């Protein structure tokens, strides 16, 4: 190691001492010139007003008022940001060959890969189309077909697709007339086998009057419109047959007309369908709806809006017709078998 390295500090101190001694010697020797030695030179006026870095500062300030737009580029259908990660997959039997969903054939038949990417869903399981991530009762495939959001429980396909008819309960009655002459008649309700279940008071009525039964069953439901003779072939013989026309006053069947013969045929059928919605956690909660009655899904008797109409129950074909209006405003019907 050099001497200056070891002794620099000492040498510096020594040098300072020498300078001090020299200054003292000058003072002693030139005692009258001390003022000249101590007086500092007069400073010069600085007329340079420039600021270091001023141009950069002005440029930065001006840029604050500019519109700055970051352009998002599109690379083969994929939006590219400053930092872009791409999810790659590999086949179980060929792990060396990576697959880019955006540029590969459909992983699950019938569903575009871009749909899975749009909703950030995992396609790496075989039953992905049958899964229900938002738990609204509709599978991913059903939501894809309907164009709804598979990860939003408030977005789902038409609920009628998950409605089932579980059974039917039907009341059958036959209204039979008794002629008192002079256009006056009484009526009674009978079962299919002819047993009387309700009847009028003794006083007969004429066309245009209401039929009022004694008991509660259909007590004030029908109005007697008219009686007429119909010429028809019956049993191979042409003859005049009596026919009575009644009109229904019950709210869900108001205005429906029934034409009955002297035996009360055909009968009057009131059907109530038991339904169940297998979506929105309503499975296992059956409910009943009377024919020609509106209802809401999920079922709520107090709902203000009831967009579905149980229009018809066909006891022969064993099916139910429900009428509704789709999202495009078109009136449609869907049939269910019970």
Q: What is the per-residue pLDDT across 272-303, written as a single tens digit (0 to 9) for each?
A: 999 999 999 999 999 999 999 999 999 999 99
Phi, psi of 74 (to 5 degrees): -115, 120
Q: What is the pLDDT of residue 322?
A: 98
Report d(CA 163, CA 273) in Å as an integer.
12
Phi, psi of 79 (to 5 degrees): -75, 130
Locate 170 and state its tokens: 């039907």
Residue 264 CB neighbours (<10 A): 21
Locate 185 and state its tokens: 């008649």
Q: Contact at 8 Å (CB) between 310 and 290?
A: yes
Q: What is the pLDDT of residue 134?
A: 97
Q: What value, to the nearest 5°, has the Cα angle with vertex 337 and ends 301 and 162? A: 55
Q: What is the pLDDT of residue 192?
A: 93
Tokens 């009968």 correspond to 267
Run of H or E including 273: strand 268-277
Q: What is the pLDDT of residue 44?
A: 66
Q: What is the pLDDT of residues 83-117, one digit of tens each?
A: 666 666 666 677 777 778 888 899 999 999 999 99
Phi, psi of 161 (to 5 degrees): -65, -20
Q: What is the pLDDT of residue 335?
A: 97
Residue range 70-91: average pLDDT? 66
Residue range 263-280: average pLDDT? 97
Locate 35 and state its tokens: 């003022």
Name the DSSP letter for residue 101: G
pLDDT confidence bin for 77, thresholds 50/70/90: low
What's the CA dihedral at 272, 277, 282, 283 to 10 degrees? 100
Residue 204 half-sphere exposure toward CB, CA atoms < 13 A: 12
- Asked whether the predicted pLDDT for residue 180 surpasses 80, the reply is yes
Burial class (CB in 10 A: 0-12, 13-18, 19+), 117: middle
Q: Contact at 8 Å (CB) between 170 and 315?
A: yes
Run of H or E including 238: strand 237-248
pLDDT confidence bin for 73, thresholds 50/70/90: low
Distances (CA, A) of 335 to 164, 284, 310, 312, 318: 10, 21, 10, 9, 10
> What totals of helices (H) and strands (E) does the chain contain, helices first?
5, 17
pLDDT confidence bin for 39, thresholds 50/70/90: low
- Asked whether the predicted pLDDT for residue 232 surpasses 60, the reply is yes
Report d(CA 156, CA 136) in Å as an integer.
7
Q: What is the pLDDT of residue 96?
A: 77
Residue range 305-324: average pLDDT? 96
């Amino acid at each position: 190691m050099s001497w200056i390295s070891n002794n620099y500090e000492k040498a510096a101190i020594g040098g300072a001492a020498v300078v001090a001694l020299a200054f003292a010697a000058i003072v002693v020797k030139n005692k009258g010139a001390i003022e000249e030695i101590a007086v500092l030179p007069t400073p010069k006026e600085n007329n340079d007003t420039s600021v270091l870095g001023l141009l950069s500062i002005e440029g930065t300030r001006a840029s604050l008022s500019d519109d700055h737009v970051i352009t998002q580029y599109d690379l083969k259908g994929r939006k590219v940001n400053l930092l872009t990660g791409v999810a790659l997959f590999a086949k179980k039997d060929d792990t060396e060959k990576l697959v880019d969903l955006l540029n590969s054939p459909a992983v699950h038949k019938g569903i575009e890969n871009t749909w899975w990417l749009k909703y950030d869903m995992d396609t790496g399981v075989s039953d992905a189309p049958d899964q229900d991530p938002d738990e609204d009762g509709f599978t991913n495939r059903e939501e894809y077909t309907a164009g709804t959001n598979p990860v939003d429980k408030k977005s789902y396909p038409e609920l009628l697709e998950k409605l089932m008819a579980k059974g039917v309960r039907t009341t059958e009655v036959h209204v039979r007339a008794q002629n008192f002459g002079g256009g006056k008649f009484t009526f009674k309700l009978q079962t299919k086998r002819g047993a009387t279940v309700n009847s009028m008071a003794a006083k007969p009525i004429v066309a245009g009057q209401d039929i009022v039964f004694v008991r509660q069953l259909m007590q004030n439901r029908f109005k007697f419109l008219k009686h007429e003779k119909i010429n028809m072939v019956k049993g191979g013989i042409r003859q005049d047959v009596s026919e009575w026309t009644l009109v229904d006053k019950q709210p869900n069947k108001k205005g429906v007309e029934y034409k009955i013969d002297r035996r009360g045929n055909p009968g009057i059928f009131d059907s109530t369908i038991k339904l169940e919605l297998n979506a929105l956690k309503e499975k296992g909660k059956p409910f009943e709806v009377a024919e020609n009655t509106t209802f809401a899904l999920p079922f709520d008797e107090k709902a203000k809006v009831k967009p579905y109409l149980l229009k018809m129950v066909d006891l022969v074909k064993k099916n139910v017709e429900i009428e509704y209006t789709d999202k495009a405003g078109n009136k449609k019907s869907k049939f269910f078998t019970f």
